[in-house]
Amino acid sequence: MKKFLALGDSLANALSGGRYEAAVVEAKDGQIGQSYFRERLWELESGLMRSPADGWDAVRIQTEGGEDFSRSALRAMHRLALVMYLKNPLIKRGVKVQSQYVFGQGVNIDVQKSKAAGLIWADFWDHCDNRRELTAPTRLAQLERKLQIKGNLFFIFFVDRVFGNCQVRELDVDEIEEVLPDPLDASKPGYYKRVYTAKILNIETGRSTTQDRVEYYPDIAYNPSFKPRTIGGDPVFWDRPMMHVARERITKIGIAPSEIFAQLDWAKAYTKFLEHRATVAAALSRIVMKFTSATKAGVDRSRKALATTFGRAKATGEDEAGTAAHLREGSNVEAVNVKGATIHADEGRRFLLMNCAGFGFGETFFGDVSVGTLATATSLDRPTELAM
């Protein structure tokens, strides 16, 4: 049995509570089909054996009997997209360019139905709390960036039915556990299940405590004749309807994946390509001069004669750039001859273009204006505008 198990299977067996070894034995004995065994082995290798160093172990493509991702996979995807936005210049540039094009000149809304409707809309749009949460120009651009990164926006509307006021609050997608369909029409959203941990401040002690909560909110367009007060014992807030904004939904009412998920692979590949080029350049710049002496004393004299700031770094002990190699006669040091095999940094352009394709932008949007002309810029203007 030990001979049959491959390298690393012991880890998979430990993480699966012994089920891995049992599956191997069962497959070897012919009690399950060969195709099923290969499928389970692939799941273990992709889910358990993948190295965390590659950065993708958190996102496992899981489905729940349908076309959509599982909730845990979506959360991992959204976190990964956020990290890449914060640390990768290509992702950050693409996201910011789109938000600047969409909301760079602000938003103008003209209500022409009636003067009364215009006053009601102005009261909502210009309310100080709503400006901070939704309608201010800077907030609109911020929400556009968040929509690209996390793929979803959820808004709760607090309606005062006595005075007619309405205030809006935005919820993070991680708090929404599930979108439940309309019981009479599965293609329409009915309820949003919110699962979160509330922080409660004790005014007397100044200390905060936490409390886990489950709440349901109706969709803003869902208005059934029968309105239950609870679902499964948890409250339903009919006076706080919710609106879901998503552009890349796989299903009609589900939670959407990140809009920039397709670009992450290629942005990371391009970054690695440039890192490897920088590593080679740093290695080649270590030694720029060579001195040869017949004796050790001659080597020591030449070293003292060139005693400058060039040399070994005190903090790390590594050779700094521009150092000299002092060798005895008969010794030699030289860079590896890579003539004809050297990869120029610009040869990674195809990785960059794949990232551009994910955003729907041309190369010029990422800083290289030399590749475009007036004719191509004019012809590509409308498709780019529609993509945004």
- Span 146-204, pLDDT tens digits: 999 999 999 999 988 888 789 999 999 999 999 999 999 989 999 999 999 999 988 88
pTM over 0.85: no
Query: How large a percentage of the chain has pLDDT more than 70?
Result: 57
- List the single range of 125-139, 349-363, 373-387 with lowest mean pLDDT: 373-387
pLDDT higher than 60, residue 317: no
- Is the pLDDT confidence value at 232 over 60? yes
Q: Return the pLDDT at 47.
A: 41
Give the N- to C-terminal CA distance of the chain in Å, as an integer: 57
Residue 7 burial (CB < 10 Å; 0-12/13-18/19+)? exposed
Range with the poorest average pLDDT among 85-89, 102-106, 138-142: 102-106
The residue that leads in pLDDT, 252 or 174, is 174
Length, in residues, of the chain: 388
**What's the rounded Cα separation, in Å, for the pair 194 and 217?**
8
pLDDT score for 159:
87
Cβ-Cβ contacts under 8 Å for 174 (sequence gap 6 or more) = 75, 78
Contacts of 81 (CB under 8 A, 6+ apart): 91, 149, 150, 258, 260, 261, 264
- In whole angstroms, what separates CA 310 from the centre of its chain? 42
In this predicted structure, what is the pLDDT of residue 237?
Answer: 96
Residue 385 parent element (H or E): helix 381-387
Scanning 2-114, the segments in alpha helix (DSSP H) are 9-15, 19-28, 34-47, 71-87, 89-103
Residues 46-92: tens digit of each pLDDT: 443 344 444 444 444 554 555 667 888 888 889 989 988 998 888 88
